Structure 1
Amino acid sequence: MKTKFLFIFTLFSSFLSLGQTTKVSNITLQQYINIEGRKMELNGAGVRTKYLFPVYVSSLYLQDKSSNPNEVLYNIDHKIVQVDIISSLITKEQFKESVKEGLEYFRESSDIDHEIDMFLSVIKDEVVLGDKFQFVAEDSVCKIFKNNKELIVIDGKKFQKALFSIWLGNKPIDDNLKDEMLGKI
């Protein structure tokens, strides 16, 4: 009887945890998401502001939580950064410029110009309030999604690390956002 109770309790708890959400600046983030059969847990999330205006919510999903940025960048092969646009002031050009700015540090130190150009070339449609981008790392591959539609697959560990370093690297786009994504705040 005790074993049956534990099984039912565990099953019930699992269903409850799958429905949990976190709200960040009016964006509802799922506690768990499944990407290609892999269950990923929300590690942390925060709001990116520019000139005092909130621009997007950025969240990090991992299979196992981590607050160590080097571990996330260099040792964890499966990770997701999700960017939810929360401002109608951001444009396609501003979004592309922000990514280019974030990757500039790595452009000088490695040969990822081709991958950066490939990535920027797929941002063709206007970026609008409510858009959701997902940057999905799987081993050496990085898949870019916009509103659940795959835009491009880029193979290259250097590009993948550079892209995720925008938020989690030694020179992140926003130190507070980095800490929030790593669950430190």
Structure 2
Amino acid sequence: MKKQFLTVLLVAFIGLFSANAQTEVGGVKLAQKVTMEDQSLVLNGAGVREKFFMDMYVGALYLPKKNANAADIMGGNDAAAIKLTIVSGMITSDKMINAVNEGFENATGGNTAPIKAKIAQFKAFFKEEIKKGDVFDLVYVPNKGVVVSKNGKEKGVIEGAEFKKAMFGIWLSNKPADKGLKAAMLGK
């Protein structure tokens, strides 16, 4: 009886420890497993977006299961999420919107016309002041679209697989925002 109790206690302790497992990247603690928009996801990989040798934000990719194939992730219909944690006070709303513009241009090979209205809607989510410590969650939910939240507060939903592919392409396409961040998000 005593041995069974100790076994149950040990299993409970291990379960508690693994449920709270975290990874630290760029000074940001990231959970190994999350539930976003009722989707259970695991940390695929994370890295730091650098510009001019300065850390701008930590980008983390969450998927139902680990996957290192960027094309599969962008084109697939599985739940997926990108978490952006701002680590620099130098990121402003205008700079983020400009970066998003450039990212969509690169991700679509310059063919943004089919999703122009959706890109405008997405950029509007970044119009409020952006401060160090802000967290943006970009969560793709199958049959719903991309749900965008800032600091846990939903900003809106953008429908469409074409938009999802382009948005994830900002970080995962052949011309990503940051090649090192792409590799890190893919777990490489």
Q: What TM-score, normalized by structure 1, do the two folds share?
A: 0.91
Tell me, which stretches of 5 or more residues in structure 2 are unaligned? none
Pick which of 109-118 and 58-67 moved more. 109-118
Residues 12 and 53 (structure 1), Cα distance of their counterparts in 2 relative to 1, 3 Å cut: same
Report if the CA contact (8 A) 2:97-2:123 is conserved. Answer: yes
Q: Give the aligned CA root-mean-square deviation in angstroms.
A: 2.0
1:116 corresponding residue in structure 2: 119
One-letter amino acid of the counterpart of residue 155, structure 1: E
Q: Which runs of 4+ in 1 moved over 6 A?
A: 1-8
For 1:6 and 1:156, the matched residues in 2 are separated by 49
Report Cα offsets for 1:7-37 as digits up to 9, x if no partner. 7655543322111111111111111111233
For 1:174 and 1:4, the matched residues in 2 are separated by 51
One-letter amino acid of the counterpart of residue 61, structure 2: L
2:134 corresponding residue in structure 1: 131
1:146 aligns with 2:150: yes
One-letter amino acid of the counterpart of residue 118, structure 2: E
SS at match of 1:82: strand
For 1:128 and 1:77, the matched residues in 2 are separated by 31
Counting matched residue pairs gives 184
Q: Could you tell me the percent identity over the aligned residues? A: 36
Tell me the CA shift for residue 73 of structure 1. Answer: 1.3
Report Cα offsets for 1:32-59 as digits up to 9, x if no partner. 1112332211110000011111100000
For 1:37 and 1:120, the matched residues in 2 are separated by 25
2:159 corresponding residue in structure 1: 155
For 1:38 and 1:83, the matched residues in 2 are separated by 18
Tell me the CA shift for residue 75 of structure 1. Answer: 2.3
1:183 aligns with 2:184: no
One-letter amino acid of the counterpart of residue 113, structure 1: K
SS at match of 2:114: coil
Report Cα offsets for 1:48-103 as digits up to 9, x if no partner. 01111110000001110111111211225200000000000110100111111100
